[in-house]
Structure formats: structure tokens, C-alpha cells
Structure 1
Amino acid sequence: MFPDVKSLPLPARPRSRSRRRALIGTALAGAALLTATVTGCSPDGDKDSTQDKSADQPADQSAGKSGSALSAVSSLKVKASGTMDGYARDRFGRAWLDTDGNHCDTRDDILKRDLTDVKFTDGHCKVASGTLTKDPYTGKTVHYVRGHSKIDIDHAVALSDAWKKGARQWSPSKRIALANDPLNLIASDASANRQKGDGDTAAWLPSNTAYRCEYVAHQVSVKKKYGLWVSAAERDAMKKVLTTCPSAKLPTGGNPTEAPPRFKAK
């Protein structure tokens, strides 16, 4: 006997050309999505959006806007110091630059900010003379005469210290930003600055004890802003100083036209 026609399976319907194209497109999209998941790339070939795209930017744009300097210490990464291999001052720029577009280099900007009785050689930019009424590092009054300077522009976080604690891996533009950031710059007595060298908080503190809280707060703020790490000894030294002034805030922006905030240890 022959089987009942009704029980026979129906032949498969041929797929239309448009339907086949749609199925092929769906399969290709799925393959691309799988590739993106495995390789960390999106289907259009760009790197995954979770990857850091701001390597040339300060790590923490909000640094100094809120919170105490003491509490901010705990947010800093703690690691052993890295190598000095490859370090040179010009890795942070060969000279003082005009990074804010005001047609004056950063050194003159900081002299204008921190000195009193300022006189210029060219009307508004090159500082000819002035007085550091109370040097933050020593407490002394120091006079400035261009070409015979007893005043340095110190990097609160020394550039060589930054190199050992993260900046070695940075792009040149980020290193130049750190070297010219007013937040990291302090007009100071030249001899005290040279005594400091590249010392971090664990290695050197200003002899002017009334300034130590502000000095350490500057270092914390800069390291937080740029994502630099600290050694364990450095962290402990920071906390030791800042426990004497627990309400001290992180310094803000470091605008070259505004004097940095001052506070005294209790």
C-alpha cells in the first residue's frame, strides 16, 4: 500500500533571494559582534569604549574641588618607586612654555602671581624685579632681580619624582602639562629649593613649619590630579603632616592670576 498523501512531509519552500540576503546579513552581524566581544573592538573596528581614551589628560579633573587633603591621601595608589632610566628634564619640555595662551611663559606667570611690587621689562610680561614677601619654604623675605635671581620656580612634585611614579609612561604632552601647571609651581628661595632636590614628602619638608600643611596638600592635589602614585613611606609622611591640619582642603586650580589659598597648621 502507498502511504496516505496527507502523511507525507511537505517539500521545503525555496527561499527568496531577498530572504537569503537578510539571513546572510544577520549571520555576518552576529560574527562581527562575537569578534568584538573577543578582541575588545566594536564592529566598526574602533577600540572598545571601556578602554582608557584619556591617557593624555590629567587623571582626576576634580582634584582639589572638594574634600580634605588628609582624606585624599587614601585615594592615592601606593607602589614602590620606579626607575630613573631615561629621565631628562627636557622630557617635560625644553623650557618654560606659554601653555595658557596669554603670551607669557609659565615662569613669568608664577613670578607675577607670587611676588609683590612687580616691575616689568616689557610692560606686562617679563618680570624685571619684585619681592617674595614671605618665602613659603623659609619664611624669609627674598628680593628678585632678573638675571641675578635668588628665587626659583619650584615644582612641588619634582619632575624626577613624577618620572619614577608614573610619568615615565606618559605622552610628552601630559608631561609638559605637569611641568607648566600652576597648581604644581611655587616661587621659592633658590637655596631651599636646591636643598630639596627631587625629594618627596618623606625625604624633605620646608623649614618653615607653618607652610608644611599647604606644601603637602599641594603635592597630594597634584598627584591625585595626574594619577601619580606614592611610596608607602611618602604616604605615611603625608598623613603625619596633614593630621596636624585635618580640615585643610586640597588646593584648587592654581590659576596663575590668583594667589593660592593659604592656611596655617593648628
Structure 2
Amino acid sequence: MARKSSRSSSRGTSDPTPFMSPNGGRRGGSNRGSHGKHGKGKLTGKQIVLIVAAAFVVLCLIAQCSGGSQSPSSQPATTQSASEAPTASGSSSAASAAPSESASDTQAAPSQTDTAQAGSTDGGNLAQTVLDELAVQAPASKAGYSRDQFGAAWSDVDHNGCDTRNDILKRDMTNVTFKDNTHDCVVLTGTLNDPYTGKTIAFERGQDTSKAVQIDHVVALSNAWQTGAQNLSADQRLQLANDPYNLLAVDGPANQEKSDSDAASWLPSNTAFDCEYVARQIGVKHKYALWVTAGEKSAMQTVLATCPSQSVPTDGGVSDGAKAATQQLAAQDSAAQDSAAQSQTTQDSQAQVAGSGSSDGSDVYYARCADARAAGKAPLYAGQPGYREGLDGDNDGVACETRK
């Protein structure tokens, strides 16, 4: 019994894993209790290594999953960024933004070639807004300017068979008649409500009469030359000189008076047309990338301050609103002329009646001898100014003689 007990005790202390035996039961009870009391919850070195390794694997998996989830999301971003680059460089908005920044930084005009070919007038936009987009510079030298720099005068640039002058006469006048067998390309007569003066002009084609109505370059070619047209190609200058957007049929003397002046030096006498006139100059300069001088811009701003809602014209010719104002002014002018003519006729009639009794055709007339005496001219002798038989009662050749 003693050996049995000793063997049992020896086995319980030497067997490193007695609690794992399926039939350990009561035999391993004391050892299990000893392990439970002193080693419960403690991990062996091997277990710690396994746990650390497992944790490392889990962390790697998490990191990999996280990286994988970011990769697809970042990929579209990269693709989008890559796609945005060419879009930005090729889009019209980016292309227009670059000149805008350049203009604001350096006040240099945008590319004349691109703008002139595009033919944009910014029509419909506020004139003040478009004016602010124009570069402001001192005028360039006039050296090298000649009318020939803008091509042959009144070329048929639109290839409709008619020269530009007749195209504008036909557009701007009413009651137009044409020369026979010219396909309505040679204007013979017409009526112009002149926007510059407000007058109504009867046009008749002829060597001495055609000059009554002239075609004006709203932005004079000489002014254009000094504000950027030197940088245009020959074709672009030809287009500018014949562009209906820059042309108006106007009173000949007013056109001669204007010459090559800008808005700082000349404005129409018809003040009702000032706003549209200035707005059209702005539109032309924007279309052909011409600049304005500081004085010119100031004058334009002064005009536009009276009409802040004035927009840049969208096409050629005089707007309906300006036509109505001009026609009203023409009607008022016509009424004033009729009144003045009637007044002059009345005065002429009175003078004619007053001088009808004068024997010598003189304009001096005395209704009564008292008037002649009051004037210190009595007596009046035949042949003298103021003598007439009606005052010579005795027909002796002496009128209004002193009574004795």
C-alpha cells in the first residue's frame, strides 16, 4: 500500500500533463488543483508567440484590406484628375480665362488674330461691362497708315454682287429705288433719317448730290490703326473696313466733321444717339481686339452714365429705339423749319406790302406824313426814299411839305 501510494504520488508530480488524460479523473485531482491555484490564466511562451503571430497576421490583413479599399477609390480620383487636365487645357472656359488673367495683370490686348477671326461683338451685354474688358493703352504711332492698308474701298466682301456702300445705303434708307438692270445693287434715291444730326435727308445719286449721304466707319480706320489694327492681318483689316457692324449711312457734313475722331473728341449732335454710338464703338473694338485710350474710355463712361442699361448692339444698323428717337427729332426739326419758313414768308409779305407804293423801289415806307416828319425826313421829294404819290396830295412832286 505504501508503494502504491508512493507511485501514485510520484506520477502526479512527474507527469507534466496529467489533467489532459481522459481517464485522469481522481488520480490527477491534486495536481490539477495545484496548477489551477498557481497557473490559471498564464500563457506559455509558445502561446504568446502564436498570439503575437496571429495578431500580426490580422494587422497585415487589415492593412491590406484598407489599402485595397483605398486603391479603387483613389484610382477614379487619379483618372478624374488625369481627365480633367486635358479638359481644362482644351475647354473654352479655360482658354478664355487665360487672356482674362493676362489682361488684368498687364492690360495687354488679347490675341488680335483669334478675336478678329472669331468675330465676337459681345452683343447684348452691357456696354459698360464690355468696355471694362478692353485694354487701355496710349495710341500707337500713325506712321505707315493709309487707306490702302485696309484694302480696296467698298469691296464686295460678302460676295452678294453689290459693293459695301450700296449695301449700307440699301440697309439704312427707306423708299429706296435702284438703277435698272443692276440686280438692286445701285441705289438711285432714298430717304435717310440721319442718326448723327436727326435730320431727314433726301438722297439722290449723282456727282454733286451723292455726298449728301456718306458711309461712316463708326470706329474710324485711322483710329483703328492707332489702337491695334496695325497688328491685324491684311484680310482682317479689309474685313474691318467693310464690316456692316462698323458702318452707318449718315449726313455727309457730319461725317466730314467727325473725320477720324474718337469719342473723346467727337460725338453726334443728336444726343439721343450718343449712347448707341458709343456702345457700337465698344462692340467694334471688342470684336477686333482694339484698345481704347484713357481719354476715350473716360468719355465713353461719361456717356454710358446717362444710360447704364445700354447694351452693345448685336448687329449692324441703327436700333429700332434709336430710329424712333431720331424720327421724333426729325419731326420736331421739320416742324421748327416749317414754322421758321412760315414766319419768314409772313415777314417778306409784310415788307412787300410796305414797299408796294414806293416809286423808286426803295424799302423805305411811311404810312403817314406824320411818320416821315417824326423820322426827320419831311418833306419828301419825288425820287427820294419814302416818297410816294399817296403822300403827295397836290401831285407837285413834294410830299409832306411843311404846312404854312
TM-score above 0.5: yes
Residues 157 and 205 of structure 1: is their aligned pair in 2 closer, same or farther, counting only changes over 3 Å?
same
SS of 2:191's equivalent? strand
Tell me whether 1:219 sits opposite 2:281 in the alignment.
yes
Q: Tell me if the contact between 1:60 and 1:227 (Cα under 8 Å) persists in the aligned partners.
A: no
Q: How far is the alpha carbon of 1:54 from its aligned partner? A: 7.2
**1:141 & 1:151 partners in 2: Cα distance?**
11
1:107-129, Cα deviation, whole Å (9 max, x unpaired): 11100000011000124111011
Q: Tell me if the contact between 2:112 and 2:232 (Cα under 8 Å) persists in the aligned partners.
A: no
Q: How far is the alpha carbon of 1:253 from its aligned partner? A: 2.8
Tell me whether 1:131 sits opposite 2:191 in the alignment.
yes
**2:267 & 2:320 partners in 1: Cα distance?**
17
Residues 54 and 244 of structure 1: is their aligned pair in 2 closer, same or farther, counting only changes over 3 Å?
closer
**2:150 & 2:140 partners in 1: Cα distance?**
17
Q: Name the structure 1 match of 2:67.
A: none
Q: Name the structure 2 match of 1:31.
A: none
Q: In the alignment, which of 103, 107, 127 is matched to residue 161 of structure 2? A: 103
**1:218 & 1:157 partners in 2: Cα distance?**
9
1:165-217, Cα deviation, whole Å (9 max, x unpaired): 00112211010000000010010000000000100000000000000011001
Structure (1 or 2) with the larger CA radius of gyration: 2
Q: Tell me if the contact between 1:214 and 1:263 (Cα under 8 Å) persists in the aligned partners.
A: no
Which has a greater percent of helix? 2
Q: In the alignment, which of 299, 302, 306 is matched to residue 237 of structure 1? A: 299
**1:87 & 1:99 partners in 2: Cα distance?**
22
Q: How far is the alpha carbon of 1:94 from its aligned partner? A: 2.1
Q: Name the structure 1 match of 2:217.
A: 155
Q: How far is the alpha carbon of 1:58 from its aligned partner? A: 1.1
Q: How far is the alpha carbon of 1:156 from its aligned partner? A: 0.3
Q: Name the structure 2 match of 1:37.
A: none
Aligned counterparts, 1:110-259, within 5 A = 110-121=168-179, 122-132=182-192, 134-147=193-206, 148-149=209-210, 150-254=212-316, 259=317
**1:190 & 1:251 partners in 2: Cα distance?**
23
Q: Tell me if the contact between 1:56 and 1:174 (Cα under 8 Å) persists in the aligned partners.
A: no
**1:241 & 1:164 partners in 2: Cα distance?**
23
Q: Tell me if the contact between 1:99 and 1:180 (Cα under 8 Å) persists in the aligned partners.
A: yes
**2:137 & 2:117 partners in 1: Cα distance?**
17
Any runs of at least 4 consecutive aligned residues in structure 1 with deviations exceeding 4 A, and if so which? none
SS of 2:216's equivalent? strand
SS of 2:133's equivalent? coil
**1:176 & 1:204 partners in 2: Cα distance?**
25
**1:193 & 1:111 partners in 2: Cα distance?**
15
Bigger relative contact order (CA 8 A; separation at least 6): 1
Amino acid in the other structure paired with 1:249: S
1:59-116, Cα deviation, whole Å (9 max, x unpaired): 6633233311122110110000011101001111122111112111111110000001
SS of 1:66's equivalent? coil
Q: Name the structure 1 match of 2:66.
A: none
Task: Give unpaired runs (5+ residues) of structure 1.
Answer: 1-49
**1:211 & 1:124 partners in 2: Cα distance?**
30
Amino acid in the other structure paired with 1:233: G
**1:135 & 1:260 partners in 2: Cα distance?**
10
Q: In the alignment, which of 72, 79, 88 is matched to residue 146 of structure 2? A: 88
Amino acid in the other structure paired with 2:120: S
Q: Tell me if the contact between 1:57 and 1:174 (Cα under 8 Å) persists in the aligned partners.
A: no
Residues 114 and 101 of structure 1: is their aligned pair in 2 closer, same or farther, counting only changes over 3 Å?
same
Amino acid in the other structure paired with 1:198: D
**2:285 & 2:321 partners in 1: Cα distance?**
20
SS of 2:116's equivalent? coil
Amino acid in the other structure paired with 1:65: G
SS of 1:168's equivalent? helix
**Percentage identity across aligned positions?**
51
> What CA RMSD, in Å, does the superposition of the two structures yield over aligned residues?
2.1
Q: Tell me if the contact between 1:151 and 1:190 (Cα under 8 Å) persists in the aligned partners.
A: yes
**2:118 & 2:282 partners in 1: Cα distance?**
12
Q: In the alignment, which of 101, 115, 129 is matched to residue 71 of structure 1? A: 129
